[in-house]
Structure 1
């Protein structure tokens, strides 16, 4: 048997230069590549763990065998395949960047193989369930409650547009084309796209802007959606809004803003929308990412067939 790989705790602390290099890399991800805050946070955490594992030798130990040993160590600690896949991606992107900038002699992580992740189909609401989330929000508050009016507009917009929760929170008053019923959205990589929405969302948005928003606004701000303190609403508040609406509607599955994104995409495809149109609306850089919704639609068709057909 070969020598066992020492744990991170048994190695020396990584030198400050490696930590500063990781910080520089994360700045590059944000400022140059336009990666999301969540991606950068995850990559930073993974790379700091790698630096801790490599110890005081730092980049001198940044070799393919050591990287594979680190991933094996991570797997032995019970990390999921999804986390291992992200750690592999973090190491590969960092390796490419570091080699291009002369911090390491070669792109050591280029040959790392990303673990296959068993991708579960996303949770998707039926139209009546999504509608129930809207009506339950209205039923659980007075008709002129500004918070309830806001929450209805948020749910309608998420369901209508399929935008990400961070994209919704970053909307300004000037982001909305009221005559054209569309929103100008800044997505991942600071890419801008225009997303249409329907009559129900337009009416809910108009009511929010004219009746409720002035009541919550405590200071001058261009933010479209406001929190109870009058500032721009944050993603955590939106997640609570969606979770509460789903609970009040009697939806058993865990529903998040991202579930409404999945729901919007699936309803569009089931209604006959072209896959590339859905790709553009969701802001996916790859059509492969959008194709998961074709599997969702096919599964829903199979489930409906089994329930309805006498020969199923």
Structure 2
């Protein structure tokens, strides 16, 4: 019996719900899945046509069209996740995408700020005309981002109850709603204490959020990015973002002698391979110093 046209297109909506609710994928990841699988329906719109050769042709055409390797890797991940779901749902007799290989992606080395410039950045004034409480908030956010390497979404999701100032620990909810505990040092403790004691009550209209925006609600990621960018401008650091501070924290930890697995735990990486990119950064920085300093370089 032939299968109805549009079968996969309809199934993608159910898969999106599964990815969000069961797998715990972020809204951006789910949106990416739906977009990528939408392009697949031009090749296979029924599960009878959902075969490994079809999937390979789909990726090959994308490669010929000039799509980046990162895009191909993302599409491969979407197809694999969808295939596993479809197999478990009984739509297909075998997980056909299990043997679909993603192209290797050459990860660019992350941008890292030197330690002295990072200090200037977190101590920089972020706005001349802002409410005094916002200056305290911005300093606390910058200190915490650099101290912990947490993601911007993890920072905005922090509640007051998640932060233990006495022990210098923060409970962070990361990707897939996985929680971890990250340490922070004395400078971040001071900045957070001043924000909570002298600043937060001046602008906050919610009880639980650690950081609030100009209107008093929980601060959003766009506001945090603007704060980091302004601090970078004041400190003379170009192309700065919250993720740059994450890269910088990880690299400085490794350069200070931290074990790679400790940094992995701090960043919330599920794979040690993801964390290993920072060892390449440290090695490159060492080589740059060597080239400048050694007489036989």
Q: Fold conserved (TM > 0.5)?
A: yes
Task: Specify every segment of 5 or more residues in structure 1 that has no aligned partner in the other structure, as ranges.
Answer: 1-13
Deviation at residue 19 of structure 1 after TM alignment: 3.4
Tell me which of 235, 239, 247 is aligned to 2:225.
239
Which residues of 2 match residues 41-52 of structure 1 at below 5 A? 41-51=31-41
Question: Counterpart of 1:18?
Answer: 8
Instruction: Return the alpha-carbon distance in structure 2 between the equivalents of residues 38 and 248 of structure 1.
Output: 31
Q: Hey, what's the Cα distance between the residues in 1 that align with 2:131 and 2:47?
A: 61
3-state SS in 2 of match to 1:136: coil
Q: What count of residue pairs does the alignment treat as equivalent?
A: 294
Residue 147 of structure 1: aligned partner:
134
Flag the 1:143–1:61 CA change in 2: closer, same or farther, 3 A: closer
Using the size of structure 1 for normalisation, the TM-score is: 0.89
Alignment pair present for 1:169 and 2:159: no
Measure, in 2, the Cα distance between the counterparts of 1:79 and 1:208: 46
Q: Aligned-pair distance for 1:144?
A: 6.6
1:113 is aligned to 101
SS at match of 2:46: helix
**Hey, what's the Cα distance between the residues in 1 that align with 2:231 and 2:160?**
25
Per-residue deviation, residues 111-143 of structure 1 (Å, max 9, x unmatched): 2121111111111111111112123226x5379
Computed over aligned residues only, the root mean square deviation of the Cα atoms, in angstroms, reads 1.9
Q: Is the 8 A contact 1:221 1:231 kept in 2?
A: no
Matches within 5 A, 1:121-270: 121-137=109-125, 140-141=127-128, 145-217=132-204, 219-252=205-238, 254-270=239-255
| 2: CA distance, partners of 1:164 / 1:101 | 34
TM-score by length of 2: 0.93
Q: Does residue 64 in structure 1 map to residue 49 in structure 2?
A: no
Q: Which moved more, 1:196-205 or 1:68-77?
A: 68-77
Unaligned runs of 5+ in 2: none
In 2, Cα distance between equivalents of 1:127 and 1:142: 28
CA shift at 1:300, angstroms?
A: 0.7
Specify the alignment match of 2:78 in structure 1: 90
